[in-house]
Amino acid sequence: MLIDSHAHLTMPQFAADLDAVIDRANGCGVGEVLDIGYDRAGMDETLALADGYGSVYASLGLHPHEARNYDDGFEDELKKNIMRRKVLAVGEVGLDYYRDLSPRDIQRDVFRRQIGLALYFGKPIVVHSRQAFEDVVRILEEEGAKEVGGIVHAFSGSLEEARRVIDLGFLIGIGGPVTYRKSKLPDVVSRLPSNAFVLETDCPYLPPEPYRGKRNEPAYVRLVAEKVAGILGVTIEDIERAAEVNYRYLLHGERDIPPRIAYELKGNIYVNVTGSCTNNCRFCVRLRRSNFLYGYNLNLVTDPTVDEMVAAVRELATGDQHREIVFCGYGEPTCRLHDILAVARRLSDLGLPFRINTNGHGNLINRRNIVPELEGAVQKVSVSLNAPDRDTYMHLCRPDAGVRAFDSLIDFIRKASASALDCEVTALDCPEIDTDRCRTLVEGIPGARFRTRKFHFNTCED
Ligand code: SF4
């Protein structure tokens, strides 16, 4: 389901055709809209909207433009309404030093007071920040807003600013500007981890292409999702799922998402083979705040059995829309070599090629050359190299086997590249990794192909 996490449906622009606007949104797969209160008069209208439409929820707060009108009366109203069933957040609140419609010291004070309410009532915060990023982050930090988290809506900052928002426990709100021709947002979005964003319209403002200059509306959040999918190289369904789970996790407190054994991503079926690994990479996705990958919980409690893996893949492989079956996981699949070979044999009737995403320690783990066994069962191996030399590998990947691991990994690449397997070797394009040297190393191995993988701030999500 698509969700518009930031809309202003109480604006006069929607007065004449609100029913049609909401019908159009539902017709485009937008199953939920968070309507954002921004002033005193709008609070009741937002609440009425949420009461009147099943798919509309509310966030209440005073916009920084209106900060000079904040008083005890408004605060009492906010307190009275904040725990109503469909009120999910406090906002939009924050600072706007671009238009400066309220004095800055009052904006800061009102921002702090509303953060205090959010903390008191345990509600996430919807943040407006315009030319005030440093003060916004400082105040959120000083007030301990990480405890409830929130969304920095209509994010338009740099990569470094996005990193700071995420470190604060907040989500990035991506809206129409990501579709604009000269926007720098796509560069930032291309690095976002999939558990770090939600989608929004900010309607009636900021319409995406091709509706610039016209009224924006929740149905257009699909255009934002399509653009983000293109940037990240995944399907629109992947973006829809990721953004929905991120939103529900934050706004509805839906955290009990069962772990997945098999899941669809980028048109492939991935098999989550194990949570055990012989490396302890500094950038491993397992080390981050939540283990959600495009909305999937991959944090296995126990490794799945062969029967469970086969059944989970068969449940997904109902049509002909998949390109390959990939053994991966938050761990090293060749730790369970015997089992993945059994799964591949039992699923061979599906007619799909098999790939293993591996750290290349398979020979070390299994104390033999496993390439001939792989050759009979899978078509492709994708090996994470991530270091051009032993010392860097020791520092970044911290292998259990110590210095032997890098030599064994290179030996595995040589053997796999010389076999019938299609052997791809990858390195993350993060600052600590010299991808040029990795490429040179791989290009010196006959048959091996090199590919850089996008680094998503702090993880190897690709
Ligand atoms: S090899 Fe992969 S799964 Fe293992 S620690 Fe490194 S990033 Fe994580």
Give pLDDT tens digits for 266-296. 999 999 999 999 999 998 877 765 668 999 9
How far is ligand 1, taken at its centre, from the CA of residue 169, in Å? 24
CB 151 within 8 A of CB 198: yes
CB 360 within 8 A of CB 385: yes
Q: What is the pLDDT of residues 318-331, one digit of tens each?
A: 988 899 999 998 89
Q: What is the pLDDT of residue 243?
A: 98
Nearest atom, ligand 1, residue 278 CA: 4
Q: Does the Cβ of 330 fall within 6 Å of ligand 1?
A: yes
Q: What is the pLDDT of residue 329?
A: 80
Q: What is the pLDDT of residue 357?
A: 97
Q: What are the chain's domains?
A: 2-252 (3.20.20.140), 262-453 (3.20.20.70)
Q: What is the pLDDT of residue 194?
A: 95
How far is ligand 1, taken at its centre, from the CA of residue 316, in Å? 25
pLDDT band for position 155 (cuts 50, 70, 90): very high
Q: Does the Cβ of 358 fall within 6 Å of ligand 1?
A: no
Q: What is the pLDDT of residue 135?
A: 98
pLDDT band for position 142 (cuts 50, 70, 90): very high
Nearest atom, ligand 1, residue 283 CA: 7
Q: What is the pLDDT of residue 285?
A: 78
Q: Does the Cβ of 37 fall within 6 Å of ligand 1?
A: no
Q: Does the Cβ of 282 fall within 6 Å of ligand 1?
A: no
How far is ligand 1, taken at its centre, from the CA of residue 278, in Å? 8
For the cut 70, the answer to whether the pLDDT of residue 458 exceeds it is no
How far is ligand 1, taken at its centre, from the CA of residue 398, in Å? 10
Q: Calculate ∠ Cα 272-275-231, nearest 5°.
A: 55
Q: What is the pLDDT of residue 330?
A: 83
Q: Considering only CA atoms, which of 63, 202, 71, 68 is closest in space to residue 127?
A: 63
Q: What is the pLDDT of residue 266?
A: 94
Q: Does the Cβ of 383 fall within 6 Å of ligand 1?
A: no
Q: Does the Cβ of 174 fall within 6 Å of ligand 1?
A: no
Contacts of 42 (CB under 8 A, 6+ apart): 10
Q: Does the Cβ of 386 fall within 6 Å of ligand 1?
A: no
pTM for the full predicted model? 0.95
Q: Please report which helix (H) or strand (E) contains residue 296, including its range.
A: strand 296-297
Average pLDDT score over residue span 371-379 = 96
Q: What is the pLDDT of residue 284?
A: 87
How far is ligand 1, taken at its centre, from the CA of residue 312, in Å? 23
Q: How many CB atoms within 10 Å of residue 392?
A: 17
Q: Please report which helix (H) or strand (E) contains residue 427, including its range.
A: strand 422-428
Residue nearest to atom 7 of ligand 1 (CA): 284
Q: Does the Cβ of 273 fall within 6 Å of ligand 1?
A: no
Q: What is the pLDDT of residue 188?
A: 97
Q: Does the Cβ of 280 fall within 6 Å of ligand 1?
A: yes
CA 70/CA 35 separation, integer angstroms:
20
Q: What is the pLDDT of residue 290?
A: 64
Q: What is the pLDDT of residues 97-127, one digit of tens each?
A: 999 999 999 999 999 999 999 999 999 999 9
Nearest atom, ligand 1, residue 286 CA: 8
Contacts of 1 (CB under 8 A, 6+ apart): 29, 30, 31, 32, 240, 244
CB 143 within 8 A of CB 116: yes
Mutate to test the pocket of ligand 1, among 276, 282, 284 (most ligand atoms within 8 A of CB): 284
- Among 147-156, 182-191, 285-294, 414-423, the minimum mean pLDDT is found in 285-294
Q: What is the pLDDT of residue 320?
A: 83
Mutate to test the pocket of ligand 1, among 332, 334, 361, 364 (most ligand atoms within 8 A of CB): 332
CA 88/CA 338 separation, integer angstroms:
48
Contacts of 36 (CB under 8 A, 6+ apart): 6, 7, 8, 46, 59, 91, 92, 126, 153
Q: Does the Cβ of 279 fall within 6 Å of ligand 1?
A: yes
Q: What is the pLDDT of residue 376?
A: 87
Average pLDDT score over residue span 394-414 = 97
**Dihedral sign for Cα atoms in the order 375, 376, 379, 385:** negative
Q: Considering only CA atoms, which of 384, 423, 421 is closest in space to residue 406?
A: 384
Q: Does the Cβ of 359 fall within 6 Å of ligand 1?
A: yes
Nearest atom, ligand 1, residue 277 CA: 4
How far is ligand 1, taken at its centre, from the CA of residue 384, in Å? 9
3-state secondary structure at position 425: strand
For the cut 80, the answer to whether the pLDDT of residue 457 exceeds it is no
Q: What is the pLDDT of residue 68?
A: 96
Q: Does the Cβ of 111 fall within 6 Å of ligand 1?
A: no
Residue nearest to atom 6 of ligand 1 (CA): 281
CB 459 within 8 A of CB 288: yes
pLDDT band for position 459 (cuts 50, 70, 90): low
Residue nearest to atom 3 of ligand 1 (CA): 331
Q: Does the Cβ of 272 fall within 6 Å of ligand 1?
A: no
Q: What is the pLDDT of residue 2?
A: 98
How far is ligand 1, taken at its centre, from the CA of residue 287, in Å? 10
Nearest atom, ligand 1, residue 460 CA: 7
Q: Does the Cβ of 277 fall within 6 Å of ligand 1?
A: yes
